[in-house]
């Protein structure tokens, strides 16, 4: 199935919740009133409830209880609220996906997101973009599994969805990989091109000209999330450490292992996002 045909399949393309679509369009606007955003989020009761639980979670350490969406937007800031609502909207867009352990998939995606945010802070890149792109970077897997479950399950036998060899298996079998699918989905959902570009480039950021810093940040975060998920030993981690990409971003050697806190710790309080 060609990439274009994949997206013609009615089961492949989940619809983004309306409020998510509106928040995506806000990336291109110079200023957005917090009142306006609060109103829009309030129209979706599921996302509103999720946002309030997140705003009151241990992750944000707020000093008083946040009771309304307006409070959440004022307390957390528009950009954070947008990041949270888009991320949880992505999760709710895919309820069941044949042959994929969604719980594991979203845990891995959340771990990549918090890892990307931590790395971006170190490298002085945009932490909110890094988080959202980290959350979305593997979403093409969901589209492939939804649109062609039989082929996807055949691929799963060769290399599981989180296996480092997965992309090669997809390229050999389909002629494209999950990053191409994810980049196309981001474009169809009208995310700014920053998203599609980073998602497409993240597996091999050094091969893209010009060097895409966000793609490199997400590459490192996804690597860290994968080795955590696979419970690799110290020796195995050292053997596959992405030294070249880390150096290109100006990170000191070993920082992803020696300095980065455990991903469970970085994501503590945000688990609500992936429920």
Per residue in 90-117, pLDDT tens? 888 787 888 889 999 999 999 999 999 9
CA separation for the pair 198, 189 (Å, rounded): 15
Mean predicted confidence (pLDDT) in 184-212: 94
pLDDT of residue 1: 65
- SS3 breakdown of the chain: % helix, strand, coil, rounded to 5? 65, 0, 35
pLDDT digits (tens, 9 = 90+) for 8-55: 877 767 777 778 888 888 887 767 777 888 888 898 888 899 899 999
Of 107, 108, 116, 129, give the one whose Cα is nearest residue 218: 116
pLDDT tier, 223 (very low <50, low <70, confident <90, very high otherwise): very high
Which one-letter DSSP state was computed for residue 273?
G
Q: Which residue has the tokens 């700014």?
A: 192
Domains, the chain, with CATH or none: 3-274 (1.10.3210.10)
Please report where in the chains the tokens 């999720």 appear, as a residue: 50
Q: pTM here? A: 0.91
CB 130 within 8 A of CB 93: no
pLDDT per residue over 140-196, tens digit each?
Answer: 999 999 888 899 999 999 999 989 899 999 999 999 999 999 999 999 888 999 999
What is the reported pLDDT for 182? 95
* Packing angle of the helix pair 78-93, 69-76 (nearest 10 deg): 120
């Amino acid at each position: 199935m060609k990439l274009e045909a994949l997206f013609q399949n009615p089961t492949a393309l989940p619809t983004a919740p309306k409020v998510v679509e509106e928040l995506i369009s806000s990336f291109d606007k110079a200023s957005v009133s917090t009142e306006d955003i609060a109103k829009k989020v309030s129209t979706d009761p599921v996302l509103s409830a999720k946002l309030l639980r997140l705003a009151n979670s241990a992750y944000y350490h707020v000093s008083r209880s946040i009771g309304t969406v307006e409070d959440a937007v004022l307390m957390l800031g528009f950009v954070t609220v947008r990041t949270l609502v888009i991320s949880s909207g992505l999760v709710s867009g895919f309820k069941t996906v044949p042959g994929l352990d969604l719980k594991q998939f979203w845990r891995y995606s959340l771990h990549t997101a918090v890892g990307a945010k931590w790395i971006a802070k170190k490298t002085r890149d945009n932490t909110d973009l890094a988080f959202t792109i980290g959350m979305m970077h593997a979403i093409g897997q969901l589209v492939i599994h939804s649109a062609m479950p039989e082929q996807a399950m055949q691929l799963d036998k060769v290399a599981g969805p989180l296996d480092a060899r997965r992309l090669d298996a997809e390229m050999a079998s389909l002629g494209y990989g999950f990053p191409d699918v994810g980049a196309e989905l981001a474009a169809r959902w009208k995310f700014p091109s920053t998203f599609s570009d980073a998602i497409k480039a993240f597996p091999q950021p050094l091969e893209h000209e010009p060097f895409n810093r966000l793609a490199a940040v997400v590459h490192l975060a996804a690597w860290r999330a994968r080795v955590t998920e696979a419970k690799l030993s110290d020796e195995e981690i050292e053997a596959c450490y992405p030294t070249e990409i880390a150096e290109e971003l100006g990170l000191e050697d070993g920082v992803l292992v020696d300095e980065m806190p455990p991903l469970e710790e970085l994501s503590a309080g945000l688990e609500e996002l992936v429920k």
